[in-house]
Amino acid sequence: MLSQLSIRTLRNVNEVTLFPSAGINIIIGENGSGKTSVLEAIYLLALGKSFRTRTLKSAVQFGQPQLQVIARTNGNIPVGLQFSILDGLSIRLNNAPLKRLSELASQLPLQFIPANSHHFFEQGPKYRRQLIDWGLFHVEPSFNFHWQSYKKILKQRNSAIRQHKKRDEIQLWDRHLISHGEAITQLRKKQLDKLIIEFKQIFSSICPTYKDAQYEVKYREGWLKGETLKTALAKAIHRDEQLGYTRSGSHAADWSFRINNFDPVDVFSRGQQKLFSLALCMAQAKITEQVKHEKTILLLDDLSSELDKDHQQNVLQELELLPVQAFITATDLDVRPSKKHTMFHVEQGAVQQQDR
């Protein structure tokens, strides 16, 4: 959670300081006023990267040498990020230089929902794995260990395959790959089971059309159903040698929900797809808080796109009940702002906080 946020020379935002509330913050402004840039600044601070660009150079205000984002987190801990065109990225947490970006991410659990949030259905398995792994990273300390170890071993195995090493040299890695892979599978399944329980409840309140729907989780381990990873690796060694990499394993896992026995992508409208993504993020925030006792920062870009007034209202009402600090942008708010919301107006990169 952030209690104070300063942004300097990031895109068209010249210099602003905001005092966001712990609950719902709504940022209103015309197209091109700088709303998404404010969300980008928060995202940058929590994750050390942008959701818009790979090279942070384009986020630095034209003609300026650097951008800065400085904030205070929950326990009044200062965190600051600077990206300079000449010297690159530097981050300070509690007045000391940061060694690893994951330290920052673990301080500030954050989820971002883009304006056209059909990611879940369009982006493929990697995105969906990352979604579930995000939750595990925050609530299950052993997950990170297993996943990092798994990735390292996989790299070694793949490199042995590419170098046309002898079979027993390739298969040397299998034992460890299997033990971490199995641990990852167990943790992901457990997390998905928890997730669907919270998801059901949240989705039925923001999307009442599906109030009485039946939900089912489908998890694909990343190898053939009914087999163990051990058998899968052993059977596929010839194929792996031909492909030049290890195809089966936890890195190839995927999952989906079925609703009333349908794949949601086949039956949902665009708006419902957006509500679906939102409910997933909200459910993750709820689980994270139960274990970590920390609010998730939820960035929601363009609430009004694809959602009518009633559904926007549903989303805002549900957010009020959840352990999130939300930053929501909109060009125009169709719903009546409540006293519970902190309002900001953006005009040409300048942000005005409205008195409550």
Ligand X SMILES: Nc1ncnc2c1ncn2[C@@H]1O[C@H](COP(=O)(O)OP(=O)(O)O)[C@@H](O)[C@H]1O
Q: Interface with ligand X by CB under 6 A: which residues?
A: 11-12, 29, 31-37, 58-62
Q: Determine, following the binding rule CB under 5 A, whether residue 304 of this chain makes contact with Mg ion.
A: no
Nearest distance from C-beta of residue 58 to ligand X, angstroms: 6
Residue type, 189: K
Cα angle: 308, vertex 258, 256; to 5 degrees: 95
Q: Which residue is nearest to ligand X (CB)?
A: 36
> In the complex with ligand X, which residue's Cβ is closer, 7 or 281?
7
Residue 322 interacts with which of Mg ion, ligand X, none, CB < 5 to 8 Å by class: none
Query: Distance between alpha carbon 224 and the CA centroid of its chain, in Å?
Result: 28
Q: Rounded distance, CA 310 to CA 36, Å?
A: 24
**CB neighbour class for 355 (10 Å; exposed up to 12, middle 13-18, buried from 19):** exposed
19-38 residues in contact with Mg ion (CB under 5 A) are 36
Nearest distance from C-beta of residue 171 to ligand X, angstroms: 51
* CA pseudo-torsion sign 55, 56, 59, 61: negative
Residue 37 interacts with which of Mg ion, ligand X, none, CB < 5 to 8 Å by class: ligand X
Nearest distance from C-beta of residue 351 to ligand X, angstroms: 11
Nearest distance from C-beta of residue 299 to ligand X, angstroms: 12
Q: Which residue has the tokens 């960035």?
A: 299
Angle, helices 270-292 vs 174-206, to 10°: value is 110
> In the complex with ligand X, which residue's Cβ is closer, 60 or 161?
60
Residue 12 interacts with which of ligand X, Mg ion, none, CB < 5 to 8 Å by class: ligand X
Q: Rounded distance, CA 191 to CA 194, Å?
A: 5
**CB neighbour class for 328 (10 Å; exposed up to 12, middle 13-18, buried from 19):** buried
Count of beta carbons in the 10 Å neighbourhood of residue 287? 21
Would you say 41 and 35 are in contact if contact means Cβ atoms under 8 Å apart?
A: no
> In the complex with ligand X, which residue's Cβ is closer, 32 or 65?
32
> In the complex with ligand X, which residue's Cβ is closer, 12 or 156?
12
Nearest distance from C-beta of residue 120 to Mg ion, angstroms: 20
Which helix (H) or strand (E) is 298 found in, with range? strand 296-300
> In the complex with ligand X, which residue's Cβ is closer, 133 or 301?
301
Nearest distance from C-beta of residue 4 to Mg ion, angstroms: 23
Residue 66 interacts with which of ligand X, Mg ion, none, CB < 5 to 8 Å by class: none
Nearest distance from C-beta of residue 318 to ligand X, angstroms: 24
> In the complex with ligand X, which residue's Cβ is closer, 44 or 187?
44
Nearest to 331 by CA among 319, 349, 345: 345
Residue 6, beta-bridge partner list: 17, 70
> In the complex with Mg ion, which residue's Cβ is closer, 30 or 103?
30
Q: How many residues lie near Mg ion (CB under 5 A)?
A: 1
Residues engaged in binding Mg ion (CB under 5 A): 36
